[in-house]
Chain A
Amino acid sequence: MSGILVLEQLLNGLGYGLMLFLLAAGLTLVFGIMDVLNLAHGSLFMSGAYVAAEAHTRTGSFTAAIVIAVAVTVVVALLLEVLLMRRLYTRDHLAQVLATFGVILVADDIVKMTWGPSPVMAPTPAALSGPINLVDGLPYPAYRLVILAGGLLVALALYLLVNHTRIGMRVRAGASDRPMAELMGVRVGRIFNGVFLLGAALAALAGALMGPIVAVQVGMGEAILIPALVVLVIGGIGSVRGAFVAALLVGVVDTIGRAFVPMLLRATLPPATAADLGPLFAEVAMYALMVVVLIFRPSGLFSARS
């Protein structure tokens, strides 16, 4: 196994982890502050991917596609917040799971009605479709580098916003002790509205960026939701830093499970057994990581409320 291959796979894992972070950041803030478990977060991701694919085909501009996707999804999220989420704040998690699972069903059907049941093509921007030689012998797809850079940039911006601004301070206060924050004069409800929309924008951005490298199809929101929830739980609920660390961890562990473990199995086990076990480790690695973390830290790595 060459060093270059390892590097390439690690970059892939990092990219995936950063996209998971974009999803998990919104999810964990909403959950941390308002204690609302929003299963429909994946549907916002799907909305971002579909709108971006559509806008890209129509306008021919990738930048415009991303802006439109984020704008449309934020409007959708605003509607969702006003019509539904508001009524769920004071309810137990079960009611929230139920209602937002209902939203998933509705969202999937709306997408199916609009774009049909088969996957939609999300073109890779022409200027970024080629590979770039990172080091000698490692041509890496330029588009994946953009995802990496974009993810890192957003993560940095979010870190600065949450940890070094007045608004961020209020957000953190709301996440770690809501009643106390309210007593101190923080309007947590209003902060939450902003965070919910910000979370939607991040989910849409992730969807728009991921569109060209995954299948844009009905159900893509549910497929990414579970890894995002895993990140949230590993990181500890309400902690953006935790989400960031956990997202990178999950991205890398997932890649190790997908790329290196099957390789190791092929080298050590009979081919048939290796072919059977390989995919299993690939899929299970992330969940195993979560279970192990929870055994030692039952409320995640950096729980905001511990």
Chain B
Amino acid sequence: MKSSSRYIGLGLLFVLLAAFPLVAPLLGLDFYIGFVRRVLVVALAAASLNFILGFGGMVALGHAGFIGMGAYTVVALSDAGVMSAWVMWPLAALVAGGVAALIGTVALRTRGVYFIMTTLAFAQMLYFVVVSLRRYGGDDGYTLMSRPTLLPGIDLGNESNFYWVVLVVVALALWWLQRATQSRFGHALMGIRDNETRMRALGYPVFRLQLVAFTIAGAIAGLAGALLAGGNGFVSPATMHWTQSATLLVMVVIGGLGRSWGGPVGAIVWLLLEEFLKQHTEHWHMPLGLLLIAVALWAPKGLAALYKRRLPLTPALSPEGRGSKA
């Protein structure tokens, strides 16, 4: 019963999201089609971070670097004249995943704050690499020629069409991530988060499992970067600035660490608030900052935790987790 009602709810959510581009013009909300699409993509990026942060206990402060790797893969392909989404998106995930694997190999040797700082350092290096790529616009960013192509007859230049494609891709990726957390692999990952020593004693290949998780998260962030680039038609190094990584981290914590909907909930809340505040005040950073402080002090388990379900809950970050007390 429980799980079937859950699927009905998710199906309903999907239908509502899918109907949005049809309803929006009637309400004069055309502008928000692009906004909701961006929220969907950022939700995916946040979910991928939650996969290693919440379920894996790895406080990585360089996630925007992987998003950027995906986005710049799209830029490089577009610059070379390849516009097919079938090539662009998988390759973006592959490149970002590959980079994540390399970075993870080094970063996962460190613990605690050293891990936070190593991931940050690598992301900063990636940031400066794209800044120095003058062929792709350097500091000023790169404007893509057009939207990617998918199938003949489907014009992705049409805002609604692109929205639907993004919706399907994001839904599939989120579903797959959700499956991964519930698999044996996901449980082993949570086991490592909760007690690394014990998992090692039980014979689990801790380093390898963490590296695989780190790579998966990087690949999905890269996919999100590709979707973002295709949608905006513009990519700049600002996407990869460390404050973007921090913002993603913030989204995940606000939403709920290690909760299946934590990432998306946090992304939605943060982006909606940002959009709302920007329209009302020039000083929109301050309320967001105060909200952050409030969440850190009084709702450390995030908003998703406020909605309690009777399914087994995953525990919050344990003291032994990576990036908690060193």
Contact = CB atoms under 8 A, between A and B. Distances in A.
22 contacts: A31-B113, A37-B113, A92-B321, A93-B113, A95-B297, A95-B300, A97-B246, A97-B249, A98-B293, A98-B295, A101-B250, A101-B289, A102-B288, A102-B293, A104-B289, A106-B289, A109-B283, A109-B289, A276-B133, A279-B131, A283-B132, A290-B118
Interface string B277-320: 00000010110111111011100100000000000000001010
Contacts of B297: 84, 87, 95, 99
Nearest to A112: B283
B289 A105 contact: yes
A107 B292 CA distance: 13
B243 A222 contact: yes
Interface in A251-293: 276-277, 279-280, 283-284, 287-288, 290-291
Interface stretch (A18-26, A51-59, A154-162, A225-233): A225-233
B324 interface: yes
A108 B288 CA distance: 12
Interface stretch (B88-96, B119-127, B198-206, B221-229): B119-127
Interface stretch (B68-76, B104-112, B142-150): B104-112
Contacts of B285: 105-106, 108-109
Contacts of B290: 102, 106
B201 to A, nearest CB: 21
B269 interface: no
Contacts of B112: 93
A interface residue count range (under 10 / 10 to 19 / 20 to 34 / 35 or more)? 35 or more
B117 interface: yes
Nearest to A102: B292
B323 A105 contact: no
A298 B107 CA distance: 10
A288 B125 contact: yes
Interface of B: 59, 61, 106, 109-114, 116-118, 120-122, 124-125, 128-129, 131-134, 242-243, 246, 249-250, 253, 257, 283, 285-286, 288-293, 295-297, 300, 317, 319, 321, 323-326
Contact of B132 (A233, A277, A300): A277
B323 A299 contact: no
A237 B133 CA distance: 35
A279 B288 contact: no
Contact of B110 (A92, A108, A294): A294
A91 interface: yes
Going nearest first, the 4 A-B pairs with the smallest beta carbon separation are A105-B289, A102-B292, A99-B296, A280-B132
Contact of A291 (B121, B291, B292, B317): B121
B243 A284 contact: no
B296 to A, nearest CB: 4
Contacts of A288: 125
B77 to A, nearest CB: 20
A229 B62 CA distance: 15
A120 B62 CA distance: 31
A101 B292 contact: yes
B293 A93 contact: no
Interface in A53-93: 84, 87-88, 91-93
Contacts of A107: 289
A106 B128 CA distance: 27
Given A99-B296, A109-B289, A276-B134, A93 B323 contact: yes
A236 B120 CA distance: 17
B120 A226 contact: yes
B253 A113 contact: no
Contacts of B121: 230, 287, 290-291
A182 B292 CA distance: 32
Given A101-B250, A280-B132, A93 B325 contact: yes
Nearest to A233: B117
A99 B253 contact: no
A13 to B, nearest CB: 19
Contacts of B106: 291, 294-295
Contacts of B110: 294, 298-299
Given A98-B250, A108-B285, A291 B118 contact: yes
A120 to B, nearest CB: 18
Contacts of B243: 222
B164 to A, nearest CB: 35
B250 A295 contact: no
Contact of B293 (A99, A109, A276, A283): A99
Nearest to B124: A287
A299 B114 contact: yes
B131 A283 contact: yes
B285 to A, nearest CB: 4
B293 A84 contact: yes
Given A94-B59, A97-B61, A287-B125, 16 more contacts: A31-B113, A91-B296, A92-B321, A94-B257, A96-B296, A98-B295, A99-B296, A101-B246, A102-B289, A105-B286, A226-B124, A230-B117, A279-B132, A280-B131, A283-B124, A300-B114
